[in-house]
A and B are shown apart, each in its own frame.
Chain A
Amino acid sequence: MNLGSLCRRIAMALFVAACAAGPVVAFAVDDPSEMLPDPKQEARAEAIGAQLRCLVCQNESIEDSSAGLARDLRKVVREHVASGESNRQVIDWMVARYGNFIRLSPPVTAATLLLWGMPVLALLIGLAAAFLVFRRRPQVAPLSDAERVRLDELTRGS
């Protein structure tokens, strides 16, 4: 069976109550022989792996996934790290094959500008709106309803 459809089939078979947190595909413990002997290189490989999406699953990184393809990609990452490639080079190698889809954190391009700019944009819009409202407000408070009623009474009384 196609791996993608396998994942989907598993997912379909499991009705998770609307919003359970966490993927339903149970995690299979890795094979420790996959790991690089040098802890520094292994840590780097894990950091790279955490940036790469398990293509056939949803929103899991290849480090977190038990799918066969994720395991293969983990192996590839470790081979490249062991051969001394930089993080950048490994990720570029993956992107050349699978496109930007494989990156869990998309590169900044014209199309993702809005995504990456959102934190700043939202903050600026909020601050600008607050600033404009404050600036346009009169410095002297207008009469409150009660005060206006009282003023009415006084003016009528005179």
Chain B
Amino acid sequence: MSPELGRFALSLACVFALAQTILPLIGAQRRDRRLMTLAPGLALGQLVALAASFLCLVNAAITNDFSVSNILENSAVAKPLLYKITGVWGNHEGSILLWAMILGICGAAVAAFGRNLPSALKARVLAVLGGVAAGFELFCLTTSDPFDRVWPAPLDGQGMNPLLQDPGLAFHPPILYTGYVGFAVPFAFAIAALIEGRVDAAWGRWVRPWAVAAWAFLTCGIALGSWWSYYVLGWGGYWFWDPVENASLIPWLSGTALMHSAVVVEKREALKIWTVLLAIGTFSFSLSGTFLVRSGILNSVHAFAQDPARGIFILGLLGLVIGGSLVLFAWRAPALTAGGLFAPVSREGALVLNNILLCSLCAVVLTGTMYPPFMSLLFGKTISVGKPFFDAATIPLAIPLFAFMGFGPMLPWKRAQLWPVLRRLWVAALITLVAFGINLWGLSGVLPVLCATFAVWVIASSATDIASRIALFRVPLSQSLQRARSLPRSAFGAALAHAGVGVTVLGLAAMSQAQHRIVEVHVGQTERLAGYDWTLTGVKTEPGPNYTAMVATIEIRHNGHIVTVMHPSKRSFNSQNQTTTEVSIHTNGLSDLYGVIGDRHGPAANPTYVLRLHYNPLAPWMWFGALIMAMGGALSLSDRRMRVGAPRRAPLPDAVAAE
């Protein structure tokens, strides 16, 4: 398991990937079955080679092989085993390798699960995936070699920043990357469809589960990153509108649009060209976002080694993948036939509106993120675009989206009337109205009130949707249950995911009302925040493995009853001359009590301590909602129709005409 073996395996994977690109494409063009059937085997071969290569790097990390410069720079003997393994993808080179491996897994999954795909389509999809993978593997081999050696090998590595040694951050990249890379599959399907010149209902059904799966992973990845910054950074913030965060939000928004428009393709064969463009766009955003960050163009706090030389290679790769696919789109898309017709007021119409709003949001985030470097390039002026802009520009677009989310899923296909649907939603509307009253009384600010109200509307109407589908309370309960059993799981999944959005938005709206206090107290002193009495009862010094910690004990009482005792601490690391704050969070599901200890002041005999106390209402709901969304996606995926029910394609009309 030497690094050289790893590099060899990576080269082998690259060869497999190139073969996977070229041979099936030729086969599909010539209708040569032998060449086409090579694709799944090559995809599996590529994955095995990539996995071997990845394991070599993991092995080097576990065995402390500091002759590998990547391990030397990011690991140390004293690092816990878990972080030795997860540290493999905590740096540029390793993360590219992980990226390539996930792409390999996607390819192998298409090969394994796509048994009922027409052979030409399958060959082309695998070819496109192989092509993208080959690009990454070449990038890895030429400019970001994770197996680079140094001589002589030092005895110990340089270690990893303590802030990053955290389970949340350790598993954040693989989940997020699976989201990003997962969108490569809809992308490959879109390219294959453009080559074939054919998009139909069956295509929509094949694409949708991949889009849903990628979306669910991306949702989890974004939520995990946000949660990490909440509990690690220690000032109650959870989203910064930083370019790196935006880089994950942009494909999430367009991917959400894709997931919805693919439904229209599947059910009604409409919005075909648009869906193909979204599939290309979403993957393009996934690619360019992460890589622009690595090139150093975008101003970000999350630094990777920023290297313009590497950027040129990346830009070339992006140009090839994105430019090539858009050329193909411009050339072939006009030939795609228009699909099923529908009235503006219909399920399709609502989904079109959903797409317009989501894509507008996507455009706003994209523009806000890219404006500073463009301004600087074109006019030589430097400007900043931050949280105040994004809050002001996105929330007014999001509110109508929530409003339409309520009744969109209840509209019938093709042609609908609004009134009967709205009448079915009267209970939900009533609940929303009550919620509006409560919000007016309890929340300050127009936007939080509106957001919280429409969040309740989304949750209530999602429940109504399911209730009305199973005719709850209109027919005997046993019959309703019977109906619920026969209701497709994807319907439950969609309603659950929508409710998850509502839960997240409620959390966000409530968090705008968060309270905090910064106080300087003696031991024994009590401070009041949000109806709680916070008492600093003691501070002691505790040694850690490679740090010394100042640990505070804070008792929190509510009306005299003790709620919790928390122990926030501040660690001073001996070697890196660095301090980290360990937040202490007590949650009861409805709110977080969040305590941080800061500096010590005053005489040693009677010192004072700076405390930062936060009361964060509904904070856990923000991430809990994201989890519900992802679970909704998973529930949809478990729908049998998504997996095996893929229909056989209608025969091509020209084949019929030839008879």
**Direct touch of chains A and B (CB < 8 A):** yes
**Distance in Å from the Cβ of A49 to the closest Cβ of chain B?**
11
Contact B397 A123 (CB under 8 A): yes
- CB–CB B356/A127 < 8 A: yes
Q: Does A119 contact B364, Cβ atoms closer than 8 Å?
A: yes
In the assembled complex, B229 has its CB within 8 A of some CB on chain A: yes
B144 within 8 A of A: no
List residues of A (1-54) whose CB comes within 8 Å of B's CBs. 8, 11-33, 35, 50-51, 53
Asked if B124 CB lies within 8 Å of chain A CBs, one says: no
> CB of B477 within 8 A of chain A?
no
Given the interface pairs A18-B176, A21-B225, A33-B520, the reply to whether A26 lies near B383 with Cβ below 8 Å is no
Chain B residues near A100 (CB-CB < 8 A): 381-384
* Contact yes or no, A23 B371, CB < 8 A: no
- B519:A18 contact, CB within 8 angstroms: no
Contact residues in A for B357 (Cβ distance below 8 Å): 123, 126
Which one of B91, B161, B244 lies within 8 Å of A19 (CB-CB)? Answer: B244
A-side contacts of B177, CB under 8 Å? 18
Interface of B is mostly: helix
Q: A26-B579, A29-B581, A53-B384 are in contact. Are A58 and B176 (CB under 8 A)?
A: no
Measured between alpha carbons, how far is A115 from B383 in the docked complex, in Å?
Answer: 11
Residue A86 interfacial (CB < 8 Å): no
State the CA gap A112–B357 with chains docked (Å). Answer: 22
The contact size tier of chain B is 35 or more
| Residue A141 CB within 8 A of the other chain | yes
- Of chain B, the residue at the smallest CB distance from A21 is B225
Q: Are B392 and A21 in contact (CB under 8 A)?
A: no
Assess the B233–A146 pair: CB atoms within 8 A: no
Contact A134 B610 (CB under 8 A): no
Question: With A and B bound together, what is the CA distance between A145 and B290 in angstroms?
Answer: 43
With A22-B228, A22-B237 known to touch, is A61 a contact of B386 (CB < 8 Å)? yes
Question: B247 near A104 (CB under 8 angstroms)?
Answer: no
Q: How far is the CA of A145 from the CA of B91 in the complex (A)?
A: 53
Contacts A14-B303, A29-B598, A119-B360 hold; do A130 and B352 have CB atoms under 8 A apart? yes
Find out whether the CB atom of B520 lies under 8 angstroms from the CB atom of A137. Answer: no
Note all chain A residues with C-beta closer than 8 A to B396. Answer: 119
B residues contacting A by CB (< 8 A) are 74, 89-92, 95, 161, 163-164, 169, 172-173, 176-177, 221-222, 225-226, 228-230, 232-235, 237-245, 247-248, 290, 293-294, 299-306, 338, 340-341, 344, 352-353, 355-357, 359-360, 363-364, 367-368, 371, 375, 379, 381-389, 392-394, 396-397, 518-520, 578-581, 596-599, 610-612, 650, 653, 656-657
Please name 20 pairs of A and B residues whose Cβ atoms are closer than 8 Å in the assembled complex, sorted by A: A13-B161, A15-B91, A19-B302, A21-B225, A22-B229, A26-B578, A28-B599, A29-B599, A32-B610, A35-B518, A59-B242, A59-B386, A101-B382, A102-B384, A104-B386, A104-B387, A119-B396, A123-B356, A123-B397, A134-B344
